[in-house]
Amino acid sequence: MKVGIIVFPGSNCDRDMYHVLTDVFNLDAQYYWHEKSLPKNIDAVILPGGFSYGDRLRAGVIAAHSPIIKDVQKLAEKGVPILGVCNGFQILVESGLLPGVLLKNKSLNFMCEWTNLIVENNKTPFTNQFKLHQKIPIPIANGEGRYYADGDVLKQLKKKNQIVFRYSQIVNGSTDRIAGVCNEAGNVVGMMPHPERAVEPEINPVDNKPSSLIFESLLVKMGVSN
């Protein structure tokens, strides 16, 4: 199974993601610079966290115009699993692959803390091993992580089961406590918290198993035994 990790100028969680994919889950992961192309036979794509282009103009908006995004869009249309984490989520939104927008946190501060997610959709390639409403202890680290959707968009998200994760409590002022969404097909998922920072017991003070299920779900989706 080949997983591509896209690297933008300013990405800083790409190595964490690579470590988890290769050392924890024994997957064949490779870095792809944002100016390059993605291979057609790739099995999954991950857009990691960071501060692409220094969050200039708006988090993720410049990276959303990188050449490699056209390949991501084509793969998304083919049903290839795509995960955007934190800045990766922002890029997916800015590129039109996911609905809504990410705004500055209500506190206007950078937030770095542990929180809990609630699984609202366990039918995606990254959540199929969860029980519905299962809790995930996981860290956040962002300054523009407040998900916003107006009334019409929120109505459609609920109707089409596109809300994947909610915070268990109010964290940053996100609409309806939304922490992650998917596209209508369900193969493109974006989330603000960092699962790659929570899958190992050495760095998760609560329980690393739930975050591990995000990656184990991908393995099951692709028919890979770990």
Handedness of CA 169, 174, 177, 183 (dihedral sign): negative
What contacts 101, CB < 8 A, 6 or more positions away?
A: 93, 147, 148, 149
Handedness of CA 132, 141, 103, 84 (dihedral sign): negative
Neighbour tally for 65: CB within 10 Å: 13
CA distance 116 to 61: 28
CA distance 95 to 69: 8
CA distance 8 to 33: 6
Task: Indicate the residue type of 46.
Answer: I
**Which of the residues are catalytic?**
86, 194, 196
Could you tell me which residues are beta bridge partners of residue 50?
A: 11
Task: Indicate the residue type of 167.
Answer: Y
Neighbour tally for 133: CB within 10 Å: 10
CA distance 12 to 27: 20
